[in-house]
Amino acid sequence: MMFDQTLQGHAGWLDLPGTAPRELSVARWHANAGGGDSVLLDACTGPTLDVGCGPGRLVAALLDRGVQALGVDVSPVAVRRTTARGGIAIRRDVFDLLPGEGRWHHVLLADGNIGIGGDPARLLRRIRELLRPSGTVIVEVEQPGSGLAEGQARARTEGSLGQWFPWAWSDAESVPADGFFLLWQTERAGRWFACWERL
């Protein structure tokens, strides 16, 4: 996987048709949680599932706070990186059977992971199955006014191009969150976040 190279610390970009390439926040992924991450961490007071956990900074930070947390990622490199920093993670697709279905208090979709699968409506239907009633999903979103875009993306590093895959990006107002109630949205350190409660 092309993302595995960034999970090993290599600089990378996300190519999105019609827009300039976006530099991936590789340094932030590998650093300890900080800055805008506090919004995500403060919103999690009970068992939390971090979907697309990457190298596990949020999982490790939640465990340090005494919050039960599990990372999920399709990348074996991500799972190894998470466990190496003291976190707990499993290699699994979010659409596969996961531990604790219907009982998680919180689900995190940080670092643009609302894009997983290229269909935010389908992804949030799946997240709703994972959450307990009144559980919350905390999502890192685009800045207001960005709208919703669904299409293809491609990860690349210096001299290497990955394959195109389905991806999406959205601001809070445009997220298709049927079965959820928007509790809040906020900005911190140049990043935007929103939280929905499962109805």
pLDDT score for 63: 98
Decide: 181 and 170 in contact? Cβ < 8 Å. Answer: no
pLDDT value at residue 1: 55
Q: What are phi and psi of 30, to 5 degrees?
A: -90, -15
- The closest of 122, 141, 139 to 179, measured between CA atoms, is 122
- The per-residue pLDDT string of the chain (199 residues; one tens digit each, 9 = 90 and over) reads 546 666 676 788 888 877 788 888 888 988 999 999 999 999 999 999 999 999 999 999 999 999 999 999 999 999 999 999 999 999 999 999 999 999 999 999 999 999 999 999 999 999 999 999 999 999 999 999 999 999 999 888 887 878 899 999 999 999 999 999 999 999 999 999 999 999 9
Distance CA 2, CA 138 (A): 26
pTM of the model: 0.94
Q: What is the CATH number of domain 2-198?
A: 3.40.50.150
Q: Which amino acid is at 89?
A: A
